[in-house]
């Protein structure tokens, strides 16, 4: 989820910096990813939306409960939106909703089965919004204890099912991170080193992104294991460039009809820098909003297909570059593999 849509500030200096090739970072598509229906080769991901939501509940961790919604109603509302994009070639959908924010893996499994789409779910806790979505036990337990809970979801399945996470999803507000938010990043690092799951972090600003990277480095985790979700919340593209050069995945995942030109700007800068191989693109769209009548105003997942890809093409993005953004990069980003920091 993302609420703020800050204006993109164009940096002419960065644009003129020229293309830098980083062959070591070229994506290799030879891994495996974990879907709600089990492990599949990453090559089978196809066209992928890396950050979307089927359902979100903003009530907060202390009141979150499966009794707050009707599963059949959620499926009835969400199905047509997923079937629509599946029919148009989207094969994989990363549902970035964490536990205590409306994650329900049985809903995702039913939708995967009825649509034929690969759906991926998460483990991890959401620290942003002043820890409103962090469960009580996370305030007292150590990073190791939290990691053990998340590792158990990877090993044994989520909430009594055999459904396993394909992503560690956590989040922080802007820098400086709070002690609990730092602990969540520590726990994510420990979980990564024992599972190989990629760490996706909803991030308030560029300074927070680098504070997180420092924590990961101390834990021995490579920036390549980490996705900076909501990079568009940081308007200074110097941060995006620096992160991508370190090997971090930089995700511009707020594409909607109001942000098309901003996102074109971000991608044009990354392309000029020779860094498209570290970029992900998505919409942060959807979702059945628990607590609102009929799930509220569900935003479709079609802006990238309808508007953004045509806009990229009109601005000189080649079919190979579009393949990189929507196929090759997601395959590499979500492939399960322990990625240690080089010492
Ligand atoms: Zn989101």
pLDDT per residue as tens digits for the range 132-186: 999 999 999 999 999 999 999 999 999 999 999 999 999 999 999 999 999 999 9
Confidence at residue 164, expressed as pLDDT on a 0 to 100 scale? 98
Confidence at residue 1, expressed as pLDDT on a 0 to 100 scale? 57
> Is the pLDDT at 97 greater than 50, yes or no?
yes
- Contact call for residues 183 and 125 (beta carbons, < 8 A): no
19-33: average pLDDT: 55
The beta-strand segments (E) located in 72-198 are 90-95, 118-120, 122-123, 167-172
Name the pLDDT band for 342 (thresholds 50, 70, 90).
confident
CA 135, distance to chain mean position in Å, is: 21
205-215: average pLDDT: 97
- Contact call for residues 54 and 288 (beta carbons, < 8 A): yes
Distance 20 CA to ligand 1 centre (A): 31
> Is the pLDDT at 27 greater than 90, yes or no?
no
Distance 153 CA to ligand 1 centre (A): 21
Distance 1 CA to ligand 1 centre (A): 3
Provide the 8-state DSSP code for 168.
E
**CATH for the 32-334 domain, from 3.20.20.140, 3.30.70.1230, 3.60.21.10, 2.60.120.620:** 3.20.20.140
Domain ranges of the chain: 32-334
The verdict on pTM exceeding 0.85 is yes
Say whether 276 sits in a helix, a strand or coil: helix
Confidence at residue 29, expressed as pLDDT on a 0 to 100 scale? 47
Name the pLDDT band for 15 (thresholds 50, 70, 90).
very low
Distance 237 CA to ligand 1 centre (A): 21
- Contact call for residues 275 and 244 (beta carbons, < 8 A): yes
Under 8 Å CB-to-CB from 284, ≥6 apart: which residues?
1, 2, 51, 52, 53, 96, 230, 253, 254
Confidence at residue 145, expressed as pLDDT on a 0 to 100 scale? 98
Distance 254 CA to ligand 1 centre (A): 9
- Percent of the chain residues topping a pLDDT of 70: 91
- Contact call for residues 221 and 189 (beta carbons, < 8 A): yes
CA distance 337 to 98: 21
Distance 78 CA to ligand 1 centre (A): 16
Say whether 34 sits in a helix, a strand or coil: strand
19-28: average pLDDT: 43
pLDDT (tens digit per residue) in 281-299: 999 999 999 999 999 999 9
Tokens for 16, please give them.
């003129």
> Is the pLDDT at 7 greater than 70, yes or no?
no
Average per-residue pLDDT for the chain: 92
32: β partners = 41
> Is the pLDDT at 25 greater than 70, yes or no?
no
């Amino acid at each position: 989820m993302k609420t703020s849509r800050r204006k993109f500030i164009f940096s002419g200096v960065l644009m003129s910096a020229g293309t830098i090739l980083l062959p070591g970072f070229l994506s290799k598509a030879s891994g495996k990813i974990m879907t709600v229906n089990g492990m599949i080769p990453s090559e089978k991901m196809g066209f992928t939306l890396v950050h979307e939501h089927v359902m979100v509940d903003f009530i907060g961790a202390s009141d979150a409960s499966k009794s707050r919604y009707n599963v059949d109603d959620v499926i009835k509302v969400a199905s047509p939106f997923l079937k629509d994009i599946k029919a148009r070639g989207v094969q994989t959908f990363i549902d970035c909703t964490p536990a205590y924010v409306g994650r329900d893996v049985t809903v995702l499994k039913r939708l995967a089965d009825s649509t034929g789409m690969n759906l991926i779910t998460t483990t991890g806790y959401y620290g942003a919004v002043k820890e409103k979505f962090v469960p009580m036990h996370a305030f007292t337990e150590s990073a190791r204890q939290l990691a053990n809970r998340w590792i158990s979801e990877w090993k044994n399945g989520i909430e009594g099912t055999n459904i396993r996470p394909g992503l560690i999803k956590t989040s922080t507000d802007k820098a400086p991170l709070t002690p609990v938010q730092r602990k969540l990043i520590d726990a994510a690092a420990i979980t990564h080193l024992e599972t190989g799951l990629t760490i996706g972090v909803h991030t308030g600003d560029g300074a927070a992104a680098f504070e997180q990277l420092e924590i990961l480095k101390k834990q021995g985790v490579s920036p390549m294991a980490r996705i900076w979700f909501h990079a568009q919340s940081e308007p200074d593209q110097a941060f995006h460039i620096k992160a991508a050069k370190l090997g971090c995945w930089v995700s511009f995942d707020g594409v909607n009809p109001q942000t098309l030109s901003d996102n074109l700007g971000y991608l044009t800068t990354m392309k000029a820098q020779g860094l498209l191989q570290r970029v992900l693109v998505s919409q942060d769209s959807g979702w059945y909003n628990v607590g609102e009548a009929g799930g509220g105003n569900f935003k479709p997942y079609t802006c990238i297909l309808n508007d953004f890809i045509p806009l990229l093409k009109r601005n000189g993005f080649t079919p190979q570059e579009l393949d990189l953004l929507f196929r090759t990069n997601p395959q590499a980003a979500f492939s399960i593999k322990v990625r240690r920091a080089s010492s």
